[in-house]
Amino acid sequence: MRLGAPAQYTPPPPGIDDLYRADLLAQIVTARAGAQRLLSEGADDAVTSVLTALAEALPVQRIALLTGAEQEKEASADPSTEAPVPADAPEDLPSLAEVLHALRDLAADAARQVSGSLARPVAAVSAHTAWALVRLHAAAEELGEVPVAPAAEDLEPTREVPATDPPSIGASEDYHSSLAATQAEEWYAGYAHEVMAGRTADATREAHLALCEIHRDRAAELGAYAEEDGAEVVARQAVYALPAGSLAEDAVGALPTRLSQSLLVDHLALVGAAPFERRPLPIAAALAEAERLGAVLEELPPLPSLTAEDPPAGR
């Protein structure tokens, strides 16, 4: 060795964030290639609408998962150079649905284990994919039932975390404030569905009562987290203010969608702020609300709860 030569740099092995990020980026590229291929081949209006939404959303999600250095590298690359089409790009709707199913679940698993700064956008990708799957299955009868999204009890750590680069979580203040906001929104949703149940009958009434129980159970469980973690326990109120005061007829139809949209944002924010062991409930809740929105909304932001101005998730 020549005297004074710098020591050879050996980069550390990738941490759990980078391991998940690489797999998610590959899955997003594959899904996008499939959506674009099927769009070019033509489809009926309902399927085309879903494919178009995917083709527009997946590039946004991919960029959000790039590190700052990777984004700079892409910005300086020759724009005329086209990325190669993945060999496993879906060639039909069932294959695309399988890729989206895998992306949804992979992103949910990642949100359980990665750093807080990455957990929120990754959970947002999972939620958007859950919404898209509902839309795609409704548009294409041959796809059958939508694969069941992971429940909270299913979201256990699935990968070994490299000791050289452990993931991190955010400040406790952010967790406590997000936890309080989500508790309040869940209590409000439970009350609103109870009121709507009193104004309807038969199956619609039973559906509202079932949702009322779901929201109150979530609120109570979040309250238990708060009590154990030294955060504010938000008490259930006897009465809440409703839109249009007495919930006029035109507000009844819009309220469930508004509730799901608010809950989706709150739970995704909580995923990014919560300690690892508290994430399963908000991850599963975000997926459930995204699926409900899939039945009623034709559009959903590529990264629900985040904007294009938010910093990239990658480190």
What mean pLDDT is predicted for residues 36-64? 93
Integer Cα distance of 13 and 225 in angstroms: 34
- pLDDT for residue 311: 45
Cα 102 from chain centroid (whole Å): 14
Residue 18 has pLDDT above 90, yes or no: yes
Burial group, residue 1, by CB count within 10 angstroms (0-12, 13-18, 19+): exposed
Find the helix packing angle between 202-229 and 172-198, rounded to 10°: 160
**16-154 CATH fold:** Ferritin (1.20.1260)
Integer Cα distance of 115 and 123 in angstroms: 12
- pLDDT for residue 313: 52
Residue predicted with more confidence, 195 or 13:
195
- pLDDT for residue 184: 98
- pLDDT for residue 254: 86
Tens digit of pLDDT for each residue in 234-249? 999 999 988 766 566 6
What mean pLDDT is predicted for residues 78-105? 85
Concatenating the DSSP letter of every residue in the chain gives --TTPPPPP-PPPP-HHHHHHHHHHHHHHHHHHHHHHHHHH---HHHHHHHHHHHHHHHHHHHHTS-HHHHHHHHHS-TTPPPPPPTT---SHHHHHHHHHHHHHHHHHHHHHS-HHHHHHHHHHHHHHHHHHHHHHHH-GGG-SPPPPPPGGG----SPPPTTS------HHHHHHHHHHHHHHHHHHHHHHHHHHHT--HHHHHHHHHHHHHHHHHHHHHHHHHHHHT---PPPPS---BTTBT--HHHHHHHHHHHHHHHHHHHHHHHHHS-GGG-HHHHHHHHHHHHHHHTT-S---SSTT--TTSPPS--
Residue 223 has pLDDT above 80, yes or no: yes
Tens digit of pLDDT for each residue in 64-83? 999 888 888 877 776 666 66
Q: At a CB cut-off of 8 Å and minimum separation 6, what does 306 contact? A: 64, 120, 121, 124, 268
Mean pLDDT of the chain: 90
- pLDDT for residue 315: 41
The answer to whether the CB of 93 falls within 8 A of the CB of 31 is no
Quickly tell me which residue has 């839109």 as its tokens.
Answer: 243
pTM score, whole prediction:
0.91
- pLDDT for residue 314: 47
| Encoded tokens for 34 | 């499939």
Band of residue 11 on the pLDDT scale cut at 50, 70, 90: low
Q: Where in the chain is the domain with CATH 1.20.1260?
A: 16-154
Tens digit of pLDDT for each residue in 111-162? 999 999 999 999 999 999 999 999 999 999 889 899 999 999 999 999 999 8
- pLDDT for residue 312: 46
The answer to whether the CB of 192 falls within 8 A of the CB of 240 is yes
| Encoded tokens for 221 | 């469980």
What mean pLDDT is predicted for residues 178-188? 98
**Residue 245, phi then psi, degrees to nearest 5:** 70, -80
What mean pLDDT is predicted for residues 84-112? 93
- pLDDT for residue 164: 84
Tens digit of pLDDT for each residue in 268-305? 999 999 999 999 999 999 999 999 999 999 999 999 99
How many angstroms separate the Cα of 212 from the Cα of each of 12, 87, 270? 49, 46, 21
Three-state SS string over 239-257 comes to CCCECCECCCHHHHHHHHH
How many angstroms separate the Cα of 12 from the Cα of each of 9, 159, 165, 315? 9, 18, 8, 14
- pLDDT for residue 72: 80
Tens digit of pLDDT for each residue in 191-217? 999 999 988 888 899 999 999 999 999
- pLDDT for residue 42: 83
